[in-house]
Amino acid sequence: MKDTGMIRSLDSLGRIVIPSEIRGTRNIEIGDSLEFFVTDDGMLVMRKYKSTECAFCRTLDSVIYYKDQFVCASCLQQLKHAPAVPVQQSPAIEESSSKKRIRVSDMLPRLEQALIDHPEASQSEIAQMLGISQSRVSQLKKQLKYKA
Ligand SMILES: [Zn+2]
């Protein structure tokens, strides 16, 4: 149990104001009902009252309690047969990462051409021309040799 540090006095009619911060975080609105509990060690606990009607159709017949909600048997049956809406996974992430890394098969001929066009260029100059790292150039060069 957490101490909110908030203290309120009862007025002359025995009423108490629930601090708006608590109403906000507990989702309690004006007009809502609250229910009181007394714990074994004498604490008074207050909770937003949830009626036992079905959260979907408001019936009170054959209602079960599930994950903080009341659901009637008929709505439960409908839920079971409701088509599951798949969460669409955006392909954007996959695409961008595959685009970033240019395939070796695309890069090899470009490197070959760069080496022919600039035979005097250093490995770092070649890397700059192709927009890849120096280590990538040396890797690709090895593949070129292997191919040749
Ligand atoms: Zn229902």
Task: List pLDDT tens digits, range 101-127.
Answer: 667 778 888 888 888 888 888 888 888
How many CB atoms lie under 10 A from the CB of residue 140?
Answer: 21
| d(CA 70, ligand 1 centre) in Å | 8
So what's the pLDDT on residue 11?
95
**Does position 139 have pLDDT exceeding 80, yes or no?**
yes
Residue 97 above 60 pLDDT? no
Q: Provide the strand spans (E) within 22-140.
A: 34-38, 44-48, 63-66, 69-72
Give the 3-state secondary structure of residue 35. strand
Q: Which residues surround ligand 1, an ion (CB under 5 A)?
A: 54, 56-57, 72, 75
The one-letter code for the residue type at 28 is: I
- 45-56 mean pLDDT: 86
The rounded Å distance from CA 55 to ligand 1 centre is 7
Q: What is the 57 CA–ligand 1 centroid distance (Å)?
A: 4
- The tokens of 121 are what? 């260029």
* Chain mean pLDDT for the chain: 84
| Percent share of the chain, pLDDT over 70 | 87
> Of the candidates 102, 98, 96, which has an alpha carbon nearest to the alpha carbon of residue 130?
102
Q: Which is it for strands 34-38 and 69-72: parallel, antiparallel or unpaired?
A: unpaired
For residue 141, pLDDT over 60 is answered with yes
- The phi and psi torsions of 91 (rounded to 5 degrees) equal -80, 0
Q: Can you give the pLDDT at residue 101? A: 62
Are 108 and 144 in contact by the 8 Å Cβ rule? The answer is yes
Report the separation in Å between the CA atom of 30 and the middle of ligand 1, taken as the mean of its atom positions: 26
Q: What is the mean pLDDT of residues 28-47?
A: 90
For residue 93, the model assigns a pLDDT of 54
Residue 96 predicted with pLDDT over 60: no
Q: Which of 85, 86, 138 is nearest to 111 (CA)?
A: 138
